[in-house]
Structure 1
Amino acid sequence: DFGANLEFITNRSSEGAQFVKGFGGMGGLLRYKVDFSQLVYDEDDEDFWED
């Protein structure tokens, strides 16, 4: 037992339908909790994403 949870999501609810449309029905998981508010924004990354 690794303490993992498996969640099945159906497209029969509004949330499930949005998930399928947004992610193509494929989901993922994170091994550790991530605090996105602690991430540092680096302006140099802008060049990477520009066309």
Structure 2
Amino acid sequence: MDSMPLLEWLANNYKSYGAALEIVTDRSQEGAQFVRGFGGIGGLLRYRVDFQLNDLNDDIEDINLDDY
């Protein structure tokens, strides 16, 4: 079994897993912050996420853990 860098393996194989690959450059302000914060890999999501569903929880009061 040959050894190869993770980024190269991802670039060669992501389509066979039905995934989308987004490469973020560190040459922009946002990209540089992303690399510093996440070390180069931000996330690998198995399923599509609808972040607007989180807005539904805005009407629910926060749970006070002191009650438990």
The TM-score bracket by the shorter chain reads 0.5 to 0.7
Structure with bigger gyration radius: 2
Gaps of 5+ in 2: 1-15
Which residue of structure 2 aligns with residue 5 of structure 1? 20
Aligned partner of 2:38 among 20, 23, 28 = 23
Q: Which runs of structure 2 are paired with 1:12-51 in the superposition (5 Å)?
A: 12-34=27-49, 37=54
- Name which structure has the greater RCO, CA cutoff 8 Å, separation 6+: 1
Q: Distance in 2 between matches of 1:21 and 1:42?
A: 33
> How many percent identity over aligned positions?
60
- 3-state SS of paired residue (1:12): coil
* Large movers: runs of 4+ above 4 Å: 41-44
Aligned CA-pair RMSD? 2.4
Q: Give TM-score scaled by structure 2 length.
A: 0.43
Count how many residue pairs are aligned between Structure 1 and Structure 2: 43
- Residue 49 (structure 1) aligns with: none
- TM-score, length-normalised on structure 1? 0.53
Q: Which runs of 5+ in 1 are unaligned?
A: 45-51
